[in-house]
Structure 1
């Protein structure tokens, strides 16, 4: 008699099938995420390429205009009997033709919004070391900017966006990194508990160097003017200091002139106490502020005497008329 055998379902087989389906699902999700990331990267690269092409075209146009002006100047120059060699456009072409933006853009340091003040120093050091043409600095810089810096630079005109100094100053202003901000950071910087005095001294030194760099104090005379202007502003009213800071004063003589002009312009504001004295003299009936505890008329004196008659026990009190202690209750009766 043959025994009927029932088919047994292996649990390992079902578990293996579930694992395979899970792996397929994960692989599909990874492919979708990679495709989305690649689309975002392609769009970002496309925008950078478009911006790069626009700037390169503008630089090319400026170069051609410059070559045309130079060639025209050579043609119009009067000859002194010496035949000058013909000017070829290739000889006048700057070195920007041999400069590859795509190859050098990877050498530009990444931009960080928390280190804006030191970023430009690092960028300029790299650009000078690698001998990048100065007219290509704005193009290389703008390829790395983002956030608030990118918004500020995009708001500039096309002519200003091709000037490195304009781009640098616009970004520094956007992050409030002006000379006054550097000065306040240097003066108000305190040592924290988790830092050593060596680190604190180095931070102070760095802040002072940035303040001097922002005000272009590179020699003894400019540093002297910087300290004198600061000390002069410390003795002025706050409104006057704000006015002088708005004028971006770097010399003591100019700060003194602006302070005198401010006083003359706001002369009515400074003469307010005199006007108040004159108004008080013109209204003699107006009562001035009375100090407490001083008797002004006979009615108050009578009220005080009635109060003293009620209280008959001996006491020591201060006479409000002669301002000295008097013992007894019948001194005023």
Structure 2
């Protein structure tokens, strides 16, 4: 019994010691965990503070760079405007000088490539009028300028500088937008002006197709104008003046003008070379949309309402007036 009690006491003591050791270990682990969490919390706070600082520095740097970029662009824009203004002033001065020379009739012939001057280099020329927007036909005016320059023996290299002195308004604005090299080339200046005033192949095609007699224009004058439009259209298209080539030039335009608008636009965008190709492309366009050539856009009426045929008024007969009284028939209505 004594031995048993002793064993029990030993067992209890061992149990208490184990519990104490376990509690101490758990307390130590808890303390270490608290330290670890505190350390991690501190590191996280430091990381966030560092990131916040870096973000603030980045934003400040970007803001500074943006301000510098804007200042640089503003300076470049100011320099560009100043340069353009100086160039414009220089060009205006040159044009005024040239215009004064031409108007004074003292423009001298320039030497050709071989350095020779024509015999009438010192002769005075008649005044060449300035181009007037809205009044002069640019194509005719340029033809007159070229004939004037050729008849007076001007060097073609100087045509552009002489031409610019006679321009104003839209034409002068077009000239001023050319580069320095382009402005020296008469052919490039002429091409730019022709495009500006829609004097292109397509422009003359439209003029030929839509021209109407002008006020005070006689039949002979109107015919000459129509033929001129056609000749310029053919000339700018660079088409051969054979029957087949002229048919392929003129007939597609006639066909497209009679087509629905969306079909005509599609065909014009393709710039088809022959009437046969135009017909094939039109056929493909219509088949893809399950339409017919005669299907023009129709007016859509509100609801189910349809126009009543008995409400359509017939054309009124032409009226002639004699002494303020109408001699035509009375109005009729359906």
TM-score category, normalised to shorter length: 0.3 to 0.5
TM-score by length of 2: 0.44
TM-score, length of structure 1 as denominator length: 0.44
The structure that has the greater radius of gyration is: 2
